[in-house]
């Protein structure tokens, strides 16, 4: 008995999830390899490591609004395609930087350019994919759509780090560049086969309305993301300091619980409402962080990590629903770009600020 064909909307969602998965998989793969390549391979300082690693995230932030506007004006398919081409070029620049390893300054300059391109690729692909899926989403499926695209990102980041460690240890940094290039190139034909969404001309009035409408959900998301930033930056250090082993399990439990929540409770924002769902899950997230802080036992702290991840899972899609609901349909790409930029600001400002506080 033959299987029924996959509906076009579901096929598009699966294809865009694959696209997001690919770009964040190679993003995650570079994270453990870059410091070793720059510090040990090229013999440069930890400041240079931080500069090159952070260039991608700075570029992603700067491209959020631009990618949103391009997605609305030229169509999300165009934005995603541009992002994939940028990712291919980033991988080629990774490889090109290896040709100048005897001149470390030139090698770093080429590598830095590749990181900037990959950050732009991340913005164009993520915002374009979200805008594309929102254009196709039926009423009552907006939160589910945002949740599934985000799930693809988190799963890719979780798998990217061990993949990158294996590739770098086995084949060197060239394998990271090759994986970045090939991973994006393989997805290009898949995106090209999808039917495009006709863009609607966007007025300046719509752009102003987006900024007025999104700031409240965006600020709420920014403050809600402080806990996520703290977990990614300091959880392992805290667990090592307190002798809770294995320390890596702290973030693994966070990420695994987040994925479980997205898979099983993804439709919840559409049923309960975005703001109500976000409020419930923020409470769970906060309770998990408090449990880590108050815990005297490793097992209890690991439970707290899982609770924090579970709670954070539906804050983004819940508040994202509120952001999209307040904006015109022809400006959804810009709305998601502005909304996501608040998270970048939170991770780029609040987490370093907390690191500077006296213990």
What is the full DSSP assignment across 257-296? Answer: HHHHHHHHHTTHHHHH-HHHHHHHHHHHHHHHHHHHHH-S
CATH code, 309: 1.20.1250.20
Is position 2 within any domain? no
Same domain? For 162 and 20 the reply is yes
User: Mean pLDDT score of the chain, rounded to an integer?
Assistant: 82
> pLDDT digits over 163-193, tens only?
888 898 899 999 999 999 999 999 999 898 8
Domain total for the chain?
2
Residue 199: inside a domain, yes or no? no
Largest CA distance in the chain: 66
- Residues 6 or more apart whose CB falls under 8 angstroms from that of 44 comprise 38, 104, 108
Boundaries of domain holding 101: 8-192
Positive or negative torsion for Cα 236, 241, 242, 244: positive
Q: Do 46 and 134 sit in the same domain of this protein?
A: yes
94/179 same-domain check: yes
| Residue 219 burial (CB count, 10 A) | 14
Residues 111 and 230 grouped into a single domain: no
Q: Look up residue 10 and give its two tokens.
A: 């579901």
Of the residues 143, 172, 192, the one at which a domain ends: 192
Residue 263 domain flag: yes
| Nearest-angstrom CA–CA distance, 136 and 239 | 44
Q: How high is the pLDDT of residue 91?
A: 94
- How confident is the model over 106-162, as pLDDT tens digits? 989 999 999 999 989 988 998 888 888 877 766 667 777 777 787 888 788 778 878
106 with 146, same domain? Answer: yes
Q: Residues 185, 218: one domain?
A: no
Instruction: Examine the domain organization and report whether 167 and 282 are in the same domain.
Output: no
Q: Please say whether the beta carbons of 138 and 82 come within 8 A.
A: no
Judged on CB neighbours under 10 Å (0-12, 13-18, 19+), 2 is exposed
| Residue 357: Cβ within 10 Å count | 6
In a domain, 19, yes or no: yes
Residue 1 lies in a domain: no
Q: What tens digit of pLDDT does each residue of 12-68 get?
A: 888 888 888 988 888 878 877 887 888 788 887 777 776 777 777 778 878 887 888
Q: Check whether residue 99 and residue 172 sit in a common domain.
A: yes
pLDDT in tens, 66-119: 888 888 888 889 999 999 999 999 999 999 999 987 888 898 999 999 999 998
Do 209 and 184 have their domain in common? no
Classify residue 110: in a domain, yes or no. yes
C-alpha torsion sign, points 337, 187, 20, 141: positive
pTM of the model: 0.75
């Amino acid at each position: 008995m033959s299987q029924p064909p996959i509906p076009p909307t579901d096929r598009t969602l699966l294809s865009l999830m694959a696209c997001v998965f690919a770009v964040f998989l190679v993003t995650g793969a570079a994270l453990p390899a870059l410091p070793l390549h720059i510090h040990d391979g090229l013999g440069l300082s930890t400041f240079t490591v931080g500069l090159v690693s952070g260039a991608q995230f700075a570029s992603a932030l700067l491209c959020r609004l631009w990618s949103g506007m391009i997605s609305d004006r030229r169509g999300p398919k165009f934005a995603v395609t541009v992002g994939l081409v940028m990712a291919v070029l980033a991988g080629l620049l990774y490889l090109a930087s290896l040709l100048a390893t005897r001149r470390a300054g030139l090698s770093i300059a080429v590598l830095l350019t590749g990181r900037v391109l990959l950050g732009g690729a991340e913005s164009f692909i993520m915002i374009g994919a979200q805008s594309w899926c929102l254009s196709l989403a039926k009423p009552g499926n907006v939160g589910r759509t945002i949740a599934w695209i985000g799930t693809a990102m988190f799963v890719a980041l979780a798998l990217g780090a061990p993949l990158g460690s294996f590739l770098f240890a086995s084949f060197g940094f060239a394998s990271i560049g090759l994986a970045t290039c090939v991973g994006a190139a393989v997805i290009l034909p898949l995106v090209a086969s999808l039917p495009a969404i006709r863009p609607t001309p966007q007025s300046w009035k719509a752009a102003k309305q987006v900024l007025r409408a999104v700031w409240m959900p965006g600020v709420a998301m920014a403050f809600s993301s402080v806990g996520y930033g703290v977990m990614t930056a300091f959880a392992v250090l805290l667990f090592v300091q307190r002798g809770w082993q294995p320390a890596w399990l702290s973030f693994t439990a966070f990420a695994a619980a987040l994925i479980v929540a997205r898979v099983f409770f993804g439709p919840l924002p559409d049923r309960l409402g975005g703001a109500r769902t976000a409020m419930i899950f923020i409470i769970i997230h906060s309770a998990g962080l408090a449990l880590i802080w108050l815990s005297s036992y490793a097992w209890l702290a690991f439970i707290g990590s899982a609770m924090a991840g579970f709670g954070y899972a539906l804050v983004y899609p819940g508040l994202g629903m509120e952001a999209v609901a307040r904006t015109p349909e022809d400006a959804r790409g810009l709305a998601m770009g502005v909304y996501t930029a608040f998270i970048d600001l939170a991770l780029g400002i609040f987490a370093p600020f907390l690191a500077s506080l006296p213990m």
